C-alpha cells in the first residue's frame, strides 16, 4: 500500500481533463489563462461536486501551469514527459488500440509490431503508471476511483497493487474488439491489457455487445474474468441542455444562414462528425453521389450538409482522410452542381452552435460509422429537430441497440444499400417521421450523462 493517503473520496482519471491552460502575453511577461472544457464527460461528472479529477497535461500551457503550481480546485494535472505522452497517446492508444477496437487495419500491410512498437509500449506503461501512482497518493482510504477509456487500460491493475483498499472501476467509451481481431496484438500485450483491466472491481461498457466481446477475450485468452464484474451503461444525450442551447440566438442566426445556403424548399441530409476514420464519411458521400446519379429527379431538390471537423491531424493517415473527404465533396459539386444549387455544403471548422442549427434543420440525419462505441449525434439530432427527422443509422454504431427499431438501418460498407435507404428516408411521410423522432428522442435520452455516472458509482459501491 502507498505510504501516503490523500483525502479524495471520489476520483476520476482520464487523458483529457476538464480544464486546459493557454499562455498569454501580459504586461509582466507570459501569463496563464484557464479554459474550462465542454463535452459529455465533463457534463456527466459535474453531478458529483466533491471529486478529484486526475488528468494529463496536454499542451505547453498545461505543462507550464503544472510547473508554476497553477491549478483548479478538484483537478490534478500530471506533467508527464511530452515524448512519453506522445508515444503513449499517438503511438499506442490512437494508432494501435483505437485501430484494433474499431477494426480499422488494412491487414495485408498492417499492423507490424516491431521494435518501435515495443519502445512506444514502454511509454504507454510509464504513462499509465504515472496515473496509478497519482491516484494512489490522492485517494482516501476506501475511496472510489473511476478510470476512463483505452488510454488507461493498465491503471486498474497497477492501482490495485498500490492500494488494495480502493473500489476501482474502468469505463470503455469505445467498442471492444472481437477476440480474433484483438489477438492481432502481440500475445503478451493482449494479456497485459486484459490483466490491467481486470484489476478493476467492475468494468463498464456502452452496450451489451461490447461487454460480451470483452468477456469473450478475457475468457479465451486468460481463462476468465477473475471475479471482475461487468456492467452496461448506455450513455444518453442531455435533453434539457440540448433543447435550451439549441434555442439560443446564435443557433437561430446560424440556422438562418444555413437555410440561405441550402435554398428554399429543399430537403436536407445532415451529418455532423469529426474526420475520424471510423465515422465513414467518404462512403456516406459516395452513397449521396449515387443517389443523385440514379435519381435525377432529386437533383436541385436535396442538399447534403456535411460537417466534417478535422480530427487527429498530427497523424498522417488522418490528414489524408480529411483531404479525401474534401476531395469527394468537391467532386460531387463539380459533377452535379448548378449556378443555383450546391449539392454538398461542407464545413470543416468546428462550431457547436452551427451543428445544433443543422440538427434542427435536418430532414434526414446520416450516421453510418464503420464501428462506434455509441455515437451521441444519433441521439442528439432527434432531441432538437424542429420538424422531426429520419435517422439513417449504421448497425455497427453502439446506438443501434437502443435506436434500431425507429431508425432506418444500413450496413456501413454497402454504398448501394445506403443510397436506397437515403431515398426511402427522403420520401417518408411527415407523420411517420414525427412519430419515429418522438420515440428516438425518448430512447436516446433515457440515461442522461449525470445519471450515467451516478449509476456507475452506485454499482461500484454495491
Pick from 235, 239, 273: nearest CA to 401 = 235
pLDDT in tens, 195-210: 999 999 999 999 999 9
Residue 27 has pLDDT above 70, yes or no: no
User: Which residue in the block uniquely carries the three cell numbers 494535472?
Assistant: 77
Q: How many CB atoms lie under 10 A from the CB of residue 182?
A: 22
Q: Which three cell numbers stand for residue 63?
A: 505543462
- pLDDT-based confidence at 389, cuts 50/70/90? very high
Does this model's pTM top 0.85? My answer is yes
Alpha carbons 27 and 34: distance in angstroms, whole number = 18
pLDDT in tens, 100-135: 999 999 999 999 999 999 999 999 999 999 999 999
User: Do strands 390-394 and 19-26 pair parallel, antiparallel, or not at all (unpaired)?
Assistant: unpaired
Helix (H, G, I), strand (E, B) or coil at 37: coil
* Torsion sign, CA atoms 39, 418, 409, 148: negative
Q: Which three cell numbers stand for residue 270?
A: 445532415
Give the Cα-Cα-Cα angle 165, 171, 1 (nearest 5 degrees). 20
Instruction: Report whether the peptide linkage leading into residue 260 is cis, meaning its omega lies within 30 degrees of zero.
Output: no
pLDDT mean over 82-91: 95
Alpha carbons 293 and 304: distance in angstroms, whole number = 14
Q: Taking a C-beta distance cutoff of 8 angstroms, is the pair 364, 408 a contact?
A: no
pLDDT in tens, 253-275: 999 999 999 998 999 999 999 88
pLDDT in tens, 407-433: 999 999 999 999 999 999 999 999 999
Instruction: Give the Å distances, CA to CA, from 265 to 122, 248, 303, 361, 456.
Output: 58, 24, 11, 12, 46
Cα 62 from chain centre: 22
Residue 146 has pLDDT above 50, yes or no: yes
Alpha carbons 69 and 57: distance in angstroms, whole number = 13
Full strand arrangement of the beta sheet holding 229-232: 75-78, 52-56, 8-13, 139-148, 167-171, 202-205, 229-232
352-361 vs 249-262: helix axis angle to the nearest 10? 60
Amino acid at each position: 500500500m502507498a505510504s501516503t493517503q490523500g483525502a479524495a473520496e471520489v476520483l476520476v482519471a482520464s487523458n483529457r481533463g476538464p480544464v486546459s491552460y493557454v499562455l498569454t502575453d501580459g504586461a509582466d511577461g507570459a501569463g496563464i489563462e484557464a479554459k474550462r472544457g465542454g463535452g459529455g464527460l465533463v457534463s456527466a461528472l459535474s453531478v458529483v461536486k466533491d471529486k478529484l479529477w486526475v488528468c494529463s497535461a496536454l499542451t505547453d500551457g498545461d505543462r507550464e501551469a503544472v510547473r508554476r503550481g497553477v491549478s483548479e480546485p478538484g483537478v490534478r494535472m500530471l506533467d508527464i514527459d511530452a515524448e512519453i505522452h506522445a508515444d503513449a497517446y499517438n503511438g499506442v492508444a490512437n494508432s494501435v488500440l483505437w485501430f484494433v477496437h474499431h477494426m480499422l487495419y488494412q491487414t495485408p500491410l498492417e499492423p507490424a509490431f516491431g521494435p518501435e512498437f515495443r519502445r512506444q509500449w514502454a511509454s504507454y506503461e510509464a504513462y499509465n503508471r504515472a496515473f496509478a501512482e497519482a491516484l494512489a497518493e490522492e485517494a482516501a482510504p476506501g475511496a472510489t476511483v473511476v478510470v476512463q477509456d483505452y488510454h488507461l487500460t493498465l491503471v486498474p491493475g497497477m492501482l490495485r497493487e498500490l492500494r488494495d483498499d480502493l473500489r476501482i472501476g474502468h469505463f470503455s467509451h469505445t467498442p471492444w474488439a472481437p477476440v480474433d481481431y484483438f489477438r492481432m496484438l502481440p500475445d503478451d500485450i493482449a494479456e497485459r491489457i486484459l490483466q490491467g483491466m481486470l484489476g478493476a472491481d467492475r468494468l463498464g461498457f456502452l452496450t451489451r455487445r461490447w461487454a460480451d466481446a470483452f468477456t469473450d477475450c478475457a475468457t479465451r485468452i486468460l481463462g476468465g474474468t477473475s471475479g471482475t464484474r461487468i456492467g452496461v451503461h448506455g450513455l444518453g444525450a442531455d435533453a434539457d441542455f440540448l433543447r435550451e442551447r439549441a434555442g439560443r440566438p446564435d443557433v437561430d442566426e446560424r440556422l438562418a444562414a444555413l437555410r440561405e445556403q441550402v435554398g428554399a424548399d429543399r430537403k436536407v441530409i445532415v451529418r455532423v462528425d469529426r474526420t475520424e476514420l471510423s465515422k465513414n464519411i467518404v462512403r456516406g458521400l459516395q452513397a449521396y453521389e449515387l443517389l443523385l446519379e440514379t435519381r435525377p429527379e432529386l437533383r436541385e431538390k436535396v442538399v447534403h450538409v456535411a460537417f466534417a471537423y478535422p480530427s487527429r491531424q498530427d497523424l498522417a493517415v488522418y490528414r489524408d482522410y480529411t483531404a479525401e473527404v474534401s476531395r469527394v465533396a468537391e467532386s460531387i459539386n463539380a459533377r452535379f452542381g448548378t449556378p443555383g444549387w450546391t449539392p454538398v455544403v461542407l464545413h470543416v471548422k468546428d462550431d457547436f452552435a452551427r451543428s445544433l442549427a443543422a440538427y434542427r434543420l435536418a430532414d434526414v440525419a446520416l450516421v453510418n460509422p464503420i464501428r462506434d462505441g455509441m455515437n451521441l449525434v444519433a441521439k442528439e439530432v432527434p432531441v432538437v429537430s424542429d420538424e422531426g427527422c429520419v435517422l439513417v443509422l449504421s448497425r455497427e454504431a453502439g446506438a443501434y441497440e437502443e435506436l434500431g427499431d425507429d431508425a432506418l438501418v444500413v450496413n456501413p460498407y454497402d454504398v448501394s444499400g445506403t443510397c436506397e435507404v437515403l431515398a426511402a428516408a427522403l420520401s417518408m411521410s411527415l407523420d411517420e417521421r414525427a412519430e419515429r423522432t418522438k420515440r428516438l428522442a425518448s430512447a436516446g435520452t433515457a440515461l442522461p450523462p449525470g445519471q450515467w455516472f451516478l449509476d456507475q458509482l452506485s454499482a461500484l459501491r454495491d
